[in-house]
Amino acid sequence: MHTSLLSSSLTIAIPFAVPPLTLISELVQQVELATLSHLLKRADIPKVNRSTDPFYPESPQERWLAGCLNLPSLPLAPLLMAADASAPNNEGWVALRPVHLQAQRDHLMLTPPDQLQLTPDEAHDLYEAAYPLLCELSPRLRCPHPGHWYVGDERISSMLNAPHTWPSCSPLRAAGQSIDRWMPCNVQSRFWRKLQNEIQMIWHVHPVNQARTARGAPTANAIWLFGPGKINAITFPFNTILAHDPVVIGIATLADKQILAWPTQFNTALLEAGNTLIWLDPLTSPYLTQEWSAWTDAFHTIERDWLAPASAALHSGKLTQLNLVLMGEEGWLTLQLRSSDRWKIWRHHTLLSCFSALLTPPYPSQ
């Protein structure tokens, strides 16, 4: 057998794989993941990582990736810039994203960011309209991607440095929630709120939004500020990365790792790539929009196209070690399996018990 196959290690990370606590029993029964249940029975005791703070500003995905980089938090702005082929130049940057805020009865809710889907022309026109105001933040501005804009952190530094007043969470973390908990509240942030209001007024009557309203598309009615930081050299504990997620691609780019073209399903060629990370995120969109039938269908596809063949490779000895990272809203489970574990049939971890262990709040109910 080829040497690389004998030492192959594969990590499969699946954001939003753990359903919410209120739906866990129902969805676990519906999804019927035979391969994942089989792997659980042969895995070491799952490692549970969860936040002790329900208002922690980073998502579990971001915390897991920060841990892989040995960083206390993830500087999303320079990572996204790297994915957009816009070099951060070791300077401090903050990410801006056009978003849609939906009015609820007593609060504003941030809709999932990918639902906006601005075209490049729409994003350019909105950016040009907001440009004079954004220049008040910094003369360093970039707009390399319809959904990702960047501004130098000069004017924002006083807001960012005030403790416990500017969590600057990513849109992914705040999606589907009231924005009140994530908004800045220190004195310096008044400037930001004023700027936000002025941009909202300009965009409210902008032809881009008028045309989107006419065709029933969500409007860009706010900007979201997040991900401040700078980054130099980084190390990432994987040799090869398969991912669509721009943050993961940015990490791989800055760490000078191999980024493979995305196959439609698992294949044994992946085993020859050495220590590989596969980032599977088709559950993200249906989870955030609470389309649970689509979430279940997507999980079935992951099981059929990725988990089942990876399990077969582990059973045959072609794969030495398989690590599964199953993420929820507040934390993640890590399952470690080795090819020798195929005989350990006496373990009795179940999908429901593992998910429930992650979802049991470690903090008092609010």
In a domain, 335, yes or no: yes
Residues 261 and 314 in one domain: yes
Residues 164 and 293 in one domain: no
d(CA 90, CA 354): 41
Could you give the percent of the chain with pLDDT greater than 70? 88
Residue 361: pLDDT band (50, 70, 90) is low
Average pLDDT over residues 306-326: 90
**Is the pLDDT at 168 greater than 80, yes or no?**
no
- Evaluate if residue 166 carries a pLDDT over 80: no
How far is residue 224 CA from its own chain's centroid?
16
- 317 is a domain residue: yes
Domain boundary among 229, 259, 275: 229
Q: 44 pairs with which residues across the strands?
A: none
Residue 366 resides in a domain: no
Same domain, 104 and 143: yes
In this structure, of 41-50, 160-169, 211-220, the range with the lowest mean pLDDT score is 160-169
| Cα 347 to Cα 3, 37, 44, 259, 332, distances in angstroms | 30, 11, 8, 36, 20
Nearest to 120 by CA among 153, 92, 145, 139: 145
| Whole-prediction pTM | 0.88
Residue 180 has pLDDT above 60, yes or no: yes
Clarify whether residues 198 and 117 are in a common domain: yes
- 13 and 133 share one domain: no
Structural domains of the chain, count: 2
What's the CATH number where 304 sits? 3.40.720.10
Q: What count of Cα atoms within 13 Å lies in the side-chain half-sphere of residue 77? A: 28
Indicate if 97 and 218 belong to the same structural domain.
yes
For residue 293, pLDDT over 90 is answered with yes
Domain extent, residue 89, equals: 76-229
Q: Which helix (H) or strand (E) holds 12?
A: strand 9-14
pLDDT of 349:
65
Residue 317: predicted pLDDT:
84
Residue 363: pLDDT over 50: no
Q: In the predicted model, is pLDDT for residue 160 greater than 70?
A: no
Decide if 30 contacts 351 (C-beta within 8 A).
no
For residues 184 and 264, state if they share a domain.
no
With a cut of 80, say whether residue 358 has pLDDT above it.
no
* 235-251 pLDDT per residue, tens: 999 999 999 999 999 99
Beta-carbon contacts of 292 under 8 Å, excluding residues fewer than 6 positions away, are 19, 23, 27, 30, 286
Position 365 in a domain:
no
Tell me: do 33 and 169 sit in the same domain. no
Q: How confident is the model at residue 155 (pLDDT cuts 50, 70, 90)?
A: low
243-288 pLDDT tens trace: 999 999 999 999 999 888 777 778 877 777 778 999 999 999 999 9
Out of 198, 229, 260, a domain closes at 229
70 and 215 share a domain? no
Domain boundary among 189, 211, 229: 229
Report if residue 169 sits inside a domain.
yes
pLDDT given for residue 161 in this prediction? 55
Residue 8's nearest CA partner among 310, 353, 329 is 310
Do both 90 and 218 map to the same domain? yes
Q: CA–CA separation, 235 vs 92, rounded Å? A: 20
> Rounded to whole angstroms, how far apart are CA atoms 283 and 27?
13
- HSE of 135, CA atoms in CB hemisphere, 13 A: 5
> Same structural domain for residues 224 and 81?
yes
